[in-house]
Amino acid sequence: MTDPATDPRFAALPAVPGKVIAVHLAYESRAAQRGRRPAAPSYFLKPTSSIAPSGAEVERPTGTELLAFEGEVALIIGAPARHVSAADAWRHVGWVTASNDWGLYDLRANDKGSNLRNKGRDGYTPLGPGLIDARAVDPAGLRVRTWRNGEPVQDDSTAPDRMIFPLAQLIADLSQHLTLEVGDVILTGTPAGSSVAVPGDVIEVEVDAPDAPGALTSGRLVSRVVEGTGDFDPSLGSLPSVDDLQREEAWGSREAAGLPEPTPILTDALRAKLLEAPVAGLSQQLRQRGIRSVFLDGPRSNTPGAKLVGTAKTLRFVPLREDLFTAHGGGYNAQKRAFDSVEPGEVIVIEARGDAASGTLGDILALRAQARGAAGIVTDGGVRDYAQVAGFDIPVFSRGPHPAVLGRRHVPWEQDVTIACGGATVQPGDIIVGDDDGVIVIPPSLAEEVADACLAQEAEDAWIASQVAAGHPVDGLFPMNAEWRARYEAETGSGGAG
C-alpha cells in the first residue's frame, strides 16, 4: 500500500485518495465562456496516479499542441459521506487545497467525454502545497487564482453568484450515488481564464479564504511545463488530433487561439434575399433540387403578414408522463434554458408532435425571446396568451391558441438536437423561413442558391403577369416557350431564372 509519508506525489495530502472526482462545469464565468450552462452537475474520474506535488513537471507530449491548465478548488473528504444532505455536506469535508486539472485537448475528442487519457496522464493532477482546515472557512468564501509566468489569468470565487452549483451541492449529489471516503479528492471545476501552456511555462494556482481570519491559504501550487515523449503507437489506439473547436475551447476563445471568426451562413445579404423571397417560391426551388420534405405542416403565423427568417435553435417536448414531468418539467427546465440561451437571429423551433392541446409557450417566454433578439418562434403545438403574443414584435408561428400549460400534454425534454416539427426534420443551424403560406426548412448549403433562383423566378413571374394583364393568353407564356423566352430576355436583359 502506498504510504503518503514516503511517496512524494502525496506529500501534501492526509491520505492516498481512493478516487479523484472532477466536475465538468461549475462556474458561471466558464459557462458563459463555453456558451452552455448545465442544468445539473456532471463528473468524471481521474486516476490517483495522475496526482503530483507542487513543483512537479507536467509533460506535453511531443507532437501535441493543446495542453491546458485549469486552476481549481480541491476538496478533500475528512469524514465518509453517503446520502448526506446539502445542509450537512460541508462537515464531511476535511481540507481544502489548490489543484490544477491539466488536460491534453489533442486527446479530448477521442475520449468521448470520459477524459481518461486527456486528463488522466501521470502528473496531470497536482495538488497542494498546503491544506486549509475546512472547518475554518465558509464554503462560499473561497477564492481561486491562477498565474501563467507570473501574470494573473484566473481569479474567481465560490460565492453564490459566481458558481452554478454550490460546493455543498456537489458533495451531496455525489453522495447519493457513491460513498465518499476519507482522503477522496473532489476537483470543483475551473472558472474562465483557463488556457493553453507550452513547454517553458510556469503555472501557479492558489486557493485562499480572503475574508477568513488568519489569512488562510493553500500557498502557490507550482507546475513547470516540459516537452515529453510522444511516441504514440497507432496499432494500439487512436492518435492525438486537433481541430478548430478543440483549439477554441483549449485556449478559451477563437481570438486567443488565433482563429478567424467563422463566417455566418446566414449573412445580412442572404437574410435580405430570403426576406424578399416567398416561401412558395423557395419550396419550388428546393423541389427542383430534389429536396421535397421541407414543409413544417401545421404552424401558421399568429400575425398575418409576418415574415420569418433565421437559423434554427431546436427544443423538443415528449408526451406527458407524470413521473417524467416531475423530474424534468419544473425548475430550470429545457424550455426555459432554450429561451434563455437563444441568440440574435435564431428561431426557436419546437417539436410538440403536432399536439396543440396545450400551450408550448406563453407571453413571458415570447418576451424573453424577443428581448434576446430572436428572429422568431415556430411550434407545431399551441400558444398560450395568444392575443398578447400576437401583438409582440417577434414573429410566432403555431397551430393556434390553447390556454393549458405544458403539464397537460408535454414534458420539456432537450434542446439543440435534431427534431421533427410539423413532420419535417429540423437540425440546429438549419435556415427557417415563414410567411402566410407556412414555414419551410432550408439546408444551409443550398440557401444562397435557392434564394437567388427564387428571386429570379419571381422577377420572371412578375413579367409574365404583366403580359397576362395586357391581354395575352397563358398558353405558351406560362411556362414560356422559346418565342416568349427570347422576348423576355430581350426586354429584361435576363438570362432566365434557371
Write out the binding residues for Mg(2+): 385
Residues 6+ apart with CB under 8 A from 115: 22, 44, 46, 103, 108
Specify the amino acid at residue 268.
D
**What residues form the annotated binding site?**
362-365, 384-385
- Is 83 exposed, middle or buried, given 0-12, 13-18 or 19+ CB atoms closer than 10 A? exposed
Alpha-helical segments (H) within 129-288: 167-175, 244-251, 268-276, 279-288
What is the residue-wise DSSP string for 347-378? Answer: EEEEE-TT--SSBS--HHHHHHHHHTT--EEE
What residue type is 210 in one-letter code?
P
Question: At a CB cut-off of 8 Å and minimum separation 6, what does 322 contact?
Answer: none
Given a contact cutoff of 8 angstroms between Cβ atoms, the answer to whether 71 and 98 are in contact is yes
CB 18 within 8 A of CB 45: no
Contacts of 51 (CB under 8 A, 6+ apart): 9, 10, 13, 17, 20, 125, 126, 127, 185
Q: Return the C-alpha cell found at 256.
A: 486567443
421 class by beta-carbon count within 10 Å (0-12 exposed, 13-18 middle, 19+ buried): buried
Q: Is the dihedral of CA 243, 249, 252, 254 positive or negative?
A: positive
Q: What are phi and psi of 347, to 5 degrees?
A: -110, 125
The helices-and-strands tally (H runs, E runs) of the chain is 14, 26
Give the end-to-end CA distance of the chain in Å, rounded to a whole number.
Answer: 78
Ramachandran angles phi, psi of 460, nearest 5°: -65, -45
Pull the grid cell for residue 486: 427570347
Query: Are the beta carbons of 294 and 440 closer than 8 angstroms?
Result: yes
Is 441:312 a contact under the CB 8 Å cutoff?
Answer: yes
Positions at the binding site for substrate: 362-365, 384
* Phi and psi, residue 349, nearest 5°: -110, 120
Residue 90: DSSP 8-state:
G
The strand pairing partners of 288, in sequence order, are none
How far apart CA 241 and CA 117 sit, in angstroms, is 13
Distance in angstroms (rounded) separating the CA atoms of residues 211 and 208? 9
Q: How far is CA 231 from the centre of its chain?
A: 34
The answer to whether residues 292 and 443 touch, using CB atoms and an 8 Å cutoff, is no
Residue 95 CA to chain centroid, in angstroms?
33
